[in-house]
Amino acid sequence: MNRILSDIQSLIQNAIKENLPDLSFDGLEEGGKVYYMNGKNGTEFDWFVNEHLPSFMVFYNDKENLGAAQAYVYADGGMIIYLYADQGKNMVKEVKTFLDVNEADLLELAVILRRNADDKKIWDAALDRIESDIVPDEAAVAEFLNNRQYCEPSIRCKEILGRLCVVSKKITRDGWKVGFMLREELQDDRDSGWQFMAGDEDDEYLNNIENVELCMVNSIVGIDPTVMSYIDSPVGARFVRMSSDEFEEDRNQKSYMEKWK
């Protein structure tokens, strides 16, 4: 097994022993084997967009099959392990540690896992099912890095979600969904440029600072997930809601309004 994967496995299993002392490994799936959970997004997506490998998990061996441990390994070598008691129903500990690796080592591991798990359609499997004790050549690493281009839209969306927007309190306070949104020039690195309105605000309402607020874009997407499909639109974009789940470019249409709460 790859040295880094072996270290990850040992750290997870030791964290279980230390923080879930009453738990026998006989009560875990396959005696506590660590699984590589690449089935949701795949290795490249998580590496480039989320800046970590897909999670590593150990499962309880029962009908519900919930996790006893879940770990994330980040590109800088940082590792976070979450431990769950009561057959996976309650998180009891968060363990933060670092692997003795550099980013180049972890990049090589990501390439190995993409080629020998994802490409071979081995999904959410125990580590010993993945051929990992190899060294990728320069061409394989270059191909992996080149594939970042396919993740660029998701990377941009993630950046936007972590920035600020202007939002009408008719949305955050009164419970209306977004009925109108526009993206203006960014003011600084923290600004997304987005403004979100319910759709029937007039100038008098919007000119009163008490009626608008700043919040993170991801909080608006949490309120109104339909917005997510348009979030990477360029500066100058203007959209009007036309139904519960669809916007159109603004051509002075009257916006469709409904409440989210």
CA atoms of 68 and 70, how far apart (whole Å): 7
Q: What is the per-residue pLDDT across 119-167, written as a single tens digit (0 to 9) for each?
A: 999 999 999 999 999 899 999 999 999 999 999 999 999 999 999 999 9
Q: What is the mean pLDDT of the chain?
A: 96
Banded model confidence at residue 226, pLDDT cuts 50, 70, 90: very high
Q: Do residues 125 and 36 make contact, with C-beta atoms less than 8 angstroms apart?
A: yes
Banded model confidence at residue 83, pLDDT cuts 50, 70, 90: very high
Residue 86 has pLDDT above 90, yes or no: yes
Residues 6+ apart with CB under 8 A from 251: 240
First vs last Cα of the chain: how many Å apart?
A: 51
Banded model confidence at residue 197, pLDDT cuts 50, 70, 90: very high
Q: Looking at the chain, which runs of residues are DSSP E strands?
A: 35-36, 56-59, 67-73, 78-85, 90-98, 125-126, 164-168, 180-183, 191-197, 212-216, 238-243, 246-249
Q: Do residues 250 and 239 make contact, with C-beta atoms less than 8 angstroms apart?
A: yes
Banded model confidence at residue 220, pLDDT cuts 50, 70, 90: very high
Q: Which two tokens stand for residue 39?
A: 């089935």
Predicted local distance difference test score (pLDDT) of residue 185 = 95
Residue 261 has pLDDT above 90, yes or no: no
User: Which 8-state DSSP code applies to residue 133?
Assistant: -
